[in-house]
Amino acid sequence: MSAAIAPDAATPEPVLQTIGLSAGYGPVPVLHDLHLRVDPGTVVALLGPNGAGKTTLLLALSGVLPVMSGEVKISGTPTKAPLFRRARRGMGFVSEDRSIFRSMTTAENLRVGSVSVDDAMDLFPELKTRLKVTAGLLSGGEQQMLTLARALSRKPAVLLVDELSLGLAPLIVHRLLERISVSAHELGTGVLLVEQHVRKALAYADHAYVLSRGRVVMDGSGAEMSGRIDQIEEAYLSGMVLKHADQEAAPVAAGDDGPEA
Ligand code: ATP
């Protein structure tokens, strides 16, 4: 009989994990000793005030920025691979700049991304009447639907999403977050989502981390964290980096969209 210990079914291997990760720009660390995990089929929200290091973390996770110390593991394997190799291993990345070809139609954008139009329309039927429209003429919400349709149709093992909802109407933000959540659960994709609409993000997140000045200062399930909005607001205020000494703190992002409808 083998004495091998069976993996614990209750604790799946994370699709993405950082162990004591520090990273930054040149010799200056921005992220300090981060321990995070994203399990398969879950949405993890990454919250924090401006300058907390959220984008820097996504860049380090995707291989764009080198790691200074610690490790990034994808599906249990430590990696220092560049972005294109991580993409081959099933990592998707949706950046805040909507990576679409603006002069091509919606359908052409899907084809050049080697994505089936049918698969994409299953994800966002709203785009069916927009297939022949030049992507640059789509609304901001439709552009993000196209970006997400391309990313999710590839059925990534892990998807990094940076500030998807920038400048979009609340209803569209809900629609995009709902799609991400349903797809993550259906496909088994682990999603790490940077989002400024804290309440909305927590409504769809299975877990959330709050970063402040490059460190994790809070974490918990989406439901737990929804009950700790006051503490999250405090973390935002104390972590806010003011550019000028005479500048007042901006409104706290945690409360910017009011109570969830
Ligand atoms: P925001 O919500 O404003 O995008 P963030 O949480 O994503 O903020 P980062 O953009 O990761 O924060 O920035 C974290 C820190 O790293 C900030 O102090 C920022 O000034 C610094 N930083 C960002 N990009 C660079 C860069 N290219 N070179 C040097 N420092 C940088």
- Taking all residues of the chain, what is their mean pLDDT, rounded to a whole number? 87
Cα(237) to ligand 1 centroid in Å equals: 17
Average pLDDT over residues 227-256: 63
pLDDT tens figures, 201-230:
999 999 999 999 999 999 999 999 999 999
- Please name the residue whose Cα sits nearest to atom 9 of ligand 1: 53
Which of 66, 27, 58, 29 minimizes the C-alpha distance to 163?
Answer: 58
The answer, yes or no, to whether residue 258 has pLDDT greater than 70, is no
Contact between 157 and 190 under an 8 Å Cβ cutoff? The reply is yes
Q: CA-to-CA distance for 106 and 119, rounded, in angstroms?
A: 14
Taking only Cα atoms into account, the Rg of the chain, rounded to an integer number of angstroms, comes to 19
Cα(172) to ligand 1 centroid in Å equals: 27
Instruction: Tell which one of 54, 211, 212, 242 to mutate to probe ligand 1, the residue whose CB is within 8 A of the most ligand atoms.
Output: 54
List beta partners, residue 211. 216
Q: Alpha-carbon dihedral of residues 79, 83, 89, 91, nearest 10 degrees?
A: 110
pLDDT tens figures, 110-143:
998 788 999 999 999 999 999 999 999 999 999 9
Model confidence at 248, pLDDT cuts 50, 70, 90, reads very low
List beta partners, residue 46. 194, 209
Q: What percent of the chain has pLDDT over 70?
A: 87
Contact between 18 and 34 under an 8 Å Cβ cutoff? The reply is yes
Threshold 0.85, pTM exceeds: yes
Cα(96) to ligand 1 centroid in Å equals: 14
Average pLDDT over residues 3-15: 65
Report the interhelical angle of 140-153 vs 170-187 (nearest 10°): 0
Taking CB atoms and a 6 Å cutoff, what residues make up the pocket around ligand 1? 25, 30, 48, 50-56
User: Which CATH number is 12-90+157-166+175-240's, of 3.40.50.300, 2.40.110.10, 3.30.565.10, 3.50.50.60?
Assistant: 3.40.50.300
Contact between 238 and 210 under an 8 Å Cβ cutoff? The reply is no
Cα(177) to ligand 1 centroid in Å equals: 24
Cα(48) to ligand 1 centroid in Å equals: 12
Which of 127, 173, 174, 178 minimizes the C-alpha distance to 150?
Answer: 127
Give residue limits of the domains in the chain. Answer: 12-90+157-166+175-240, 97-155
Give the amino acid at 197: H
pLDDT tens figures, 135-187:
999 999 999 999 999 999 999 999 999 988 888 999 999 999 999 999 999 99
- Cα separations (Å) of 246 from 18, 170, 236, 237, 249? 37, 32, 19, 16, 10
Instruction: Tell which one of 28, 46, 55, 96 to mutate to probe ligand 1, the residue whose CB is within 8 A of the most ligand atoms.
Output: 55
- Please name the residue whose Cα sits nearest to atom 30 of ligand 1: 25
Cα(149) to ligand 1 centroid in Å equals: 28
pLDDT tens figures, 64-81:
999 999 999 999 999 998
Cα(245) to ligand 1 centroid in Å equals: 19
- Please name the residue whose Cα sits nearest to atom 29 of ligand 1: 25
Model confidence at 243, pLDDT cuts 50, 70, 90, reads very low
Instruction: Tell which one of 21, 22, 25 to mutate to probe ligand 1, the residue whose CB is within 8 A of the most ligand atoms.
Output: 25
